[in-house]
């Protein structure tokens, strides 16, 4: 079965990260033995791949998301506190009105 270079190019990052299936790995390796172009692409990808830098970049990229999450959580807590305070106020008001109304009826 002949696999196109485009398919192999799509699979190469998975191959480099060693997360593709064994079957895909074998197909890639068979293709690479007969295709110098894809072999060169693989070599270039491997030379560009620096795991430590990628981790640092990913952490930097995640910082705005972390800040957004923190802001969201603060707003969520604030909204919950406002909801609890509003509920307590309304329940207290109802009890007060019932107390006044029942007090007027009795007296």
**57 is a domain residue:** no
- At residue 107, the 3 state secondary structure works out as coil
Would you state the structure tokens that stand for residue 41, as one six-digit string?
Answer: 């692409």
Global pTM value: 0.46
**31 is a domain residue:** yes
Q: Interior CA angle at 59 toward 16 and 70, to 5°?
A: 140
Residues 38, 12: one domain?
A: yes
Residues 45, 69: one domain?
A: no
What is the tens place of the pLDDT at every residue in 2-13?
A: 889 999 999 999
Residue with tokens 């795991």: 51
For residue 21, what are the domain limits? 1-49
Q: Quote the number of domains for the chain.
A: 2
What is the tens place of the pLDDT at every residue in 51-107?
A: 555 666 667 778 888 889 999 999 999 999 999 999 999 999 999 999 988 877 765
Burial of 8 (0-12, 13-18, 19+ CB in 10 A): buried
């Amino acid at each position: 079965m002949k696999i196109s270079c485009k398919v192999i190019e799509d699979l190469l990052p998975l191959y480099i990260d060693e997360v593709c299936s064994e079957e895909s790995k074998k197909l890639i390796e068979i293709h690479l033995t007969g295709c110098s172009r894809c072999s060169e692409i693989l070599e270039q990808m491997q030379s560009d791949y620096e795991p430590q830098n990628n981790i640092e970049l990913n952490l930097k990229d995640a910082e705005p998301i972390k800040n957004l999450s923190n802001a969201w959580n603060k707003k969520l807590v604030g909204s919950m506190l406002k909801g609890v305070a509003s509920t307590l106020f309304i329940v207290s008001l109802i009890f007060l009105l019932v107390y006044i109304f029942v007090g007027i009826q009795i007296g």
